Chain A
Amino acid sequence: MDNNKTTTKIQELTYELKVEEVMCTDVETVGPKMPVSQLRDVLYNKRISGVPVVNDNELVGIVSIEDFIKCLEQEEMNALVEDKMTKNIKTLYADEPLVHAIMKFEKYGFGRFPVISRKDKKLVGIITKSDIIKGILKKLESVYHDEEERRYRASHIFNDIIADEVFLKFQYFVEGKNFDKAGEASTGLKKTLYRLGLSPDIIRRAAISTYEAEINIVAYTDGGEITAYIDPHQIKIIITDKGPGIPDVEKALQPGFSTAPGWVRELGFGAGMGLPNIKKFTDKMTLRSTVEKGTHLEIIIKLSDYRIED
């Protein structure tokens, strides 16, 4: 059954992929007036078994290693390529589906087909059976990769859990005064929300507001915690620390107001935009703070547009 499925997928890919996606574009060509004796070097150096013959940008034939061997047997090494090449050549258009190429390989038994553009009939590439195999394998690999990524997403989790109320809780611990680790909690939350399949806009708003709060913990406190609760309707993020607290909450909410020390400002923080940013990016923000005790920040982002994937 599995085998059947693979065959179908490959067949599907042969319709999906175009000749131009798998062909070799770096095409070696020879001129019609080249003596057959020189053909050896071209074929040997490039490790190829056939080469298109081009005259004034126009494809006029194809000459293969078999033609070369025949000349060798009949001692006609001085003959010109144009007299020994195949003139009535079969070609493929670059925009044809791969399945046409496969059918032509089966029908004619050739080792290669020159590929021309439909518009001006000029040579744009060459395709061999091995190009087809490589192209399909490459495509299969990327299809497989996408599938893996999709499976890794946990967006079905709310559908799979049977309960009257469901919420997920993620907790992150933030070290104080350590700017080397600042941003790890919000980056972690961002990746987690992505796996839950939330919309990019929601994820961005949640991650940015969490980042600003995280920076506040790092810049002003000795450490704190970030806890995110996610249910099918909203993301609630609670950020707490154990001090020193904000003396004037109203002032702290004004854009541009900052109490950041010099070393924090040098790092590009402390612009007085942290809390205003959080307010801007969330649907609800509640800030409670007691000097010397700590700060409790609660933010809510609504998931009105949350669509559960099936």
Chain B
Amino acid sequence: MNLKDIVQKLDLKVVSGDIDKEISAGYSSDLLSDVIANAQQDNIWITLQIHVNIVAVANLQELAGIILVNGREPEEATLKKAEQENIPILLTELSTFEIVGKLYEMGIHGNR
């Protein structure tokens, strides 16, 4: 599934990056080392972390994008870095549980 469709269907606010990319699966965690160990390339990552290192993690793992939950806004440094590295950051008012549920309903599953 394309990130563009997700943005549209779930009404996510795009604050950085190019959203025209395919998503392989989803991963949700607020522990960065856990994401590094278990997320996979082209995953969409759902987290409440907003500091600049989420961009580094997304970059290292070549993730498709990051969804920030609970209406949280990225820090300024995060936004700047995300623009620079072309990592899509998407915002939602929903909680992790809610947004993951909706993604799953749309056919985005975990890594198998």
Contact = CB atoms under 8 A, between A and B. Distances in A.
B56 A186 contact: yes
Contact of A273 (B31, B53, B54, B57): B31
A274 interface: yes
A190 B36 CA distance: 14
Contact of A267 (B37, B49, B60): B49
A277 B33 contact: yes
A contact patch SS? helix
B37 A273 contact: yes
A303 B112 CA distance: 27
A207 B52 CA distance: 17
A212 B33 contact: yes
A274 B34 CA distance: 9
Interface string A244-286: 0000000000000000000000011101011011001000000
B contact patch SS? helix
B30 interface: yes
Nearest to A269: B32
A268 B32 contact: yes
A183 interface: yes
Q: How large is the interface on B (under 10, 10 to 19, 20 to 34, 35 or more residues)?
A: 20 to 34
Given A204-B60, A207-B60, A268-B31, A179 B37 contact: no
Interface in B16-58: 30-34, 36-37, 47, 49, 51-57
B68 to A, nearest CB: 12
Contacts of B55: 183
Q: How large is the interface on A (under 10, 10 to 19, 20 to 34, 35 or more residues)?
A: 20 to 34
B96 interface: no
Nearest to B36: A208
A187 B30 contact: no
A179 B34 contact: no
A182 interface: yes
A180 interface: yes
B10 interface: no
Contact of A212 (B36, B47, B52): B36
B33 to A, nearest CB: 4
A187 B53 contact: no
A269 B31 CA distance: 6
Interface of A: 179-180, 182-184, 186-187, 190, 204, 207-208, 211-212, 215, 267-269, 271, 273-274, 276-277, 280
6 contacts: A186-B56, A215-B32, A268-B47, A271-B32, A273-B31, A276-B37
